[in-house]
């Protein structure tokens, strides 16, 4: 073994070089040869492991091994082989230089740690890509879990690297770490909050990838495209991207539209403001005229008979319309609107359908349409609403009603 360590040294001495120069040249030649050898082993290891991995992937039915190759797991493992071989050569190369031997040993050990972390990251990324292809995990915040594992891996690697550099035991480092825990918590506050939030979001199933959420505080209104440890990315409907801190999902209020998407319909809740001075009782002539409207013909006939019977039994004086029971144009229009919506082909008949009056306001009497469209797609949903209100707005005049609108100009009198 002694011969191997001083192989070039002995030849250099024979050629007449001094001992001091010979020992340094011996070191130089050994380092160069070791680096060349390490490089060649790295090339061979990469090609061999990659070819073996490709053959295994082709014969395998699962796609996980293909993902491992895509994320360069075999390549990263191959890099570790020559480093470990070089580590074994360090005592031979630096036999006469204890300081350089210790320094190089620490350096190669740290490189080994970094390569191990690189392998761990490649494997975790492969696992992430594989899980995202499974229907069960497609909408889960897999990125958050992978990032948590990587944080712990990097923390362990950093601690080990410091222990190697300082020649201290890991337990002493942990003791010092405990003393500095307050500073560490302050530095990694957002990471810790994000980690806790990611767990709560996942456990409580608050948000999934693909959910439509509305977060007014951050101006977000769109689909969740990524959930990571620190942030949630939302692609708004105008194709902009809004980034939200993950912990904001548990500290602030936001709206998740998943319930609507998973339901049988999308709610329509919109009102017409009727001008109140256009509301009046209907005379017999007006009722007979409205019977020409097919949707409420039977309703008016039955209702008129019931009202006439009641008024006759109570001997009501109908010379004055206010007396007894009467039909109003707003009531008949409300029934018409409800019947129209019930017969509309785009409305889900199995969900609530209602046309109701709200409290009168300074802008008239709100007549609210409450129903659910069978088609939940945004574009079609807006088309259905427009179709319904186009019809109702045009229908109002047939009931001698007016829709309230602010005057377009103010007239003054001298």
Query: Phi and psi at residue 21, in whole multiples of 5°?
Result: -70, -40
Question: pLDDT-derived band of residue 105, with 50, 70 and 90 as boundaries?
Answer: confident
pLDDT exceeding 70 applies to what percent of the chain?
A: 85
The answer to pTM > 0.85 is no
Q: Which residue has the tokens 């009782």?
A: 281
With beta carbons less than 8 A apart as the criterion, state whether 163 and 170 touch. yes
**Helices in 72-227 by DSSP H: which ranges?**
73-93, 98-132, 142-166, 170-179, 181-187, 189-203
Question: Helices 329-342 and 297-313, interaxial angle, to 10°?
Answer: 140
Mean pLDDT, residues 109-127 taken together:
87
Mean pLDDT of 336-359: 94
pLDDT, residue 367, reads 95
Q: What confidence score (pLDDT) does residue 178 get? A: 61
Residues of the chain with CATH 2.30.30.60: 202-262
Q: Which residue has the higher pLDDT, 137 or 385?
A: 385
CB atoms under 10 Å from CB of 202, counted, come to 17
Other CB atoms within 10 A of residue 104 CB: 19
pLDDT at 296: 93
How many residues comprise the chain? 414
Q: How confident is the model at residue 2 (pLDDT cuts 50, 70, 90)?
A: very low
Q: How confident is the model at residue 345 (pLDDT cuts 50, 70, 90)?
A: very high
Q: Which CATH architecture has domain 202-262?
A: Roll (2.30)
φ, ψ at 88 (rounded to 5°) = -70, -25
CA dist 47 and 136 (Å) reads 36
* pLDDT of res. 368: 96
Q: Could you give the percent of the chain with pLDDT greater than 90?
A: 29
Between the alpha carbon of residue 53 and those of residues 82, 85, 315, 349, the distances in Å are 19, 22, 98, 57
In terms of Cβ atoms closer than 10 Å to its own Cβ (0-12, 13-18, 19+), residue 220 is buried
> How high does pLDDT run on average in the chain?
82
Instruction: Say what the pLDDT of residue 188 is.
Output: 67
How far, in Å, CA of 85 to CA of 37, rounded?
9
Confidence of residue 38 (pLDDT cuts 50, 70, 90): confident
Give Cβ neighbours of residue 184 (< 8 Å, ≥ 6 apart): 177
- Listed range (208-212, 270-274, 363-367) with the worst mean pLDDT: 208-212
Round to whole Å and give the CA distance between 258 and 274. Answer: 34
Comparing 18-32, 57-71, 255-269, 339-353, which segment has the lowest mean pLDDT? Answer: 18-32
Confidence band, pLDDT 50/70/90 cuts, at residue 322: confident
Q: List helix spans (H) across 279-328.
A: 284-290, 297-313
Is 131:142 a contact under the CB 8 Å cutoff?
yes
Kindly report the number of other CB atoms within 10 A of residue 94's CB atom.
Answer: 20
Q: pLDDT-derived band of residue 354, with 50, 70 and 90 as boundaries? A: very high
As a whole number of angstroms, the distance between CA 365 and CA 402 comes to: 11
Say whether pLDDT at 300 is over 70.
yes
Q: What is residue 365's predicted lDDT score, i.e. its pLDDT?
A: 94
**Mean pLDDT in residue range 358-362:** 93
- Which residue do the tokens 């103010």 mark? 410
Whether the pLDDT of residue 1 is over 50: the answer is no
Task: Give the pLDDT score at 370.
Answer: 94
The residue among 195 and 153 whose pLDDT is bigger is: 153
Please give the pLDDT value at position 49: 85
pLDDT at position 5: 54
Q: How far apart are CA 353 and CA 405, in angstroms?
A: 26
Torsion sign over Cα 114, 117, 119, 125? negative
Look at residue 11 and tell me whether its pLDDT is greater than 70.
no
| CB proximity list for 57: less than 8 A, separation 6 or greater | 65, 66, 68, 69
- pLDDT over threshold 60, residue 410: no
**Measured between alpha carbons, how far is residue 254 from residues 25, 219, 262, 309 in Å?**
70, 11, 18, 55
The whole-angstrom separation of Cα 264 and Cα 259 is 10
Confidence of residue 356 (pLDDT cuts 50, 70, 90): very high
Of the two residues 161 and 356, the one the predictor is more confident about is: 356
Residue 270 CA to residue 367 CA, distance in Å, equals 8
Q: What does the pLDDT read at residue 201? A: 76
């Amino acid at each position: 073994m002694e011969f191997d360590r001083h192989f070039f040294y002995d030849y250099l001495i024979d050629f007449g070089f001094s001992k001091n120069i010979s020992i340094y040249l011996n070191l130089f030649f050994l380092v160069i040869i070791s680096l060349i050898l390490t490089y060649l082993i790295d090339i061979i290891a990469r090609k061999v492991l990659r070819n073996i991995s490709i053959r295994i992937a082709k014969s395998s039915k699962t796609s996980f091994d293909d993902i491992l190759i895509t994320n360069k797991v075999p390549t990263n493992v191959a890099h570790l082989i020559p480093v470990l071989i070089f580590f074994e050569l360090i005592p031979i190369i630096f036999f006469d230089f204890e300081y350089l031997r210790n320094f190089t040993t620490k350096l190669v050990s740290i490189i080994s740690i970094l390569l191990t972390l690189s392998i761990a990251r490649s494997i975790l990324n492969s696992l992430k890509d594989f899980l995202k292809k499974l229907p069960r995990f497609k909408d889960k915040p897999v990125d958050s879990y992978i990032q948590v594992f990587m944080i712990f891996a990097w923390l362990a690697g950093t601690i080990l690297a410091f222990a190697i550099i300082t020649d201290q035991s890991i337990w002493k480092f942990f003791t010092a770490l405990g003393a500095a825990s307050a500073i560490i918590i302050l530095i990694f506050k957002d990471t810790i909050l994000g980690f806790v939030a990611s767990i709560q979001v996942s456990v409580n199933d608050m948000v999934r990838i693909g959910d439509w959420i509305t977060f007014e505080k951050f101006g977000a209104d769109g689909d969740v495209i990524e959930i990571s440890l620190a942030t949630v990315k939302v692609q708004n409907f105008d194709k902009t991207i809004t980034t939200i801190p993950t912990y904001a999902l548990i500290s602030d209020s936001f709206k998740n539209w998943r319930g609507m998407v998973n339901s049988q319909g999308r709610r329509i809740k919109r009102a017409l403001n009727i001008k109140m001075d256009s509301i009046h009782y209907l005379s017999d002539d007006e009722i007979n005229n409205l019977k020409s409207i097919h949707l409420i013909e039977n309703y008016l006939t039955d209702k008129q008979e019931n009202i006439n019977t009641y008024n006759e039994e109570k001997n009501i004086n109908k010379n004055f319309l206010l007396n007894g029971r009467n039909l109003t144009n707003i009531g008949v229009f409300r029934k018409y609107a409800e019947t129209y919506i019930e017969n509309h082909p785009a409305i889900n008949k199995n969900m609530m359908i209602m046309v109701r009056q709200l409290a009168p306001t300074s802008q008239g009497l709100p007549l609210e349409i409450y129903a659910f469209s069978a088609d939940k797609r945004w574009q079609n949903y807006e088309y259905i609403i427009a179709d319904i209100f186009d019809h109702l707005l045009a229908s109002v005049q047939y009931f001698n009603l007016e829709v309230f609108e602010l005057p377009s100009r103010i007239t003054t009198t001298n």
